[in-house]
Amino acid sequence: MNQPSAFATFKTKGEHVYRTSAYIQWGTSSTSLGSCLLLNPGSSTLFRERPAPHHSIMGQTTLDPTMHQLVKLTEAIYQPKAEQGTLEGRLHIYNLFSLQNPQAKEAVSLFEALLHAGDTALDEHITRSHELVKHPWMLLGWGCMAKTSRPLHSLKEMWLREIAAAGVPTFGKPCATGKNYYHPCPQLHVMRELILRDLVALHDQACGSVRG
């Protein structure tokens, strides 16, 4: 098996850490295998030092539980190549906002406070269509939050406009409201294999099977 590794760019601003880019790498190719749009970065950390204040640093990171689940999803989508150890490329991980915090509710509250204080802006967290166009698909999975604030609603709309402009096929497991999408890595371990199967089927419906 071609064992994947993860890389990310982090920056500090004030007391807070932002993960501004991240991808999971199989082999050496820079070709995109796909992408996902989640809520915010979780618990992955650099193998080396924390970035200095107001500076960015890029390097190899630990794989957090969400990344491990995304590895399983990508390898299930590209099953023959994964089994043969010939899978080559990158899964790119995007977030509605880049403030790092493993607790979603806490992250949202802090992000909104930083917006209100003028310490960050919505535009700083959006990836534009000219970059998104390189992806064969995008998984939507920012979670089933019962209450969505105005900043989060605006972020989703901005992201969806850029994705639509790029023409990237999307899929995800819709929440009951139909406006949000289940996170690909549920907290309950017993649910992780179930949603994995659902997401592979949803990918095949949106993009066609690549498993032969």
Consecutive 10-residue averages of pLDDT for the chain (212 residues)? 87 87 96 97 70 70 93 96 93 96 88 93 96 98 83 94 98 91 94 97 92 64
H-state helical runs in the chain: 65-77, 79-84, 104-117, 129-132, 150-166, 189-207
Task: Determine the pLDDT at residue 42.
Answer: 81
Q: How crowded is the C-beta side of 184, counted as CA atoms within 13 Å?
A: 29
Could you tell me the strand order of the sheet in which 138-140 lies? 56-61, 5-13, 16-26, 89-95, 32-38, 138-140, 170-171
Task: Determine the pLDDT at residue 188.
Answer: 93
Task: Determine the pLDDT at residue 47.
Answer: 64
Task: Determine the pLDDT at residue 178.
Answer: 80
Q: Model pTM greater than 0.95?
A: no
Task: Determine the pLDDT at residue 51.
Answer: 53
**Structure-token match 């190549």, residue found:** 81
Q: Parallel, antiparallel, or unpaired: how do β-strands 89-95 and 16-26 relate?
A: antiparallel
Task: Determine the pLDDT at residue 59.
Answer: 86
Nearest Cα to Cα of residue 127 among 25, 16, 7, 20: 20
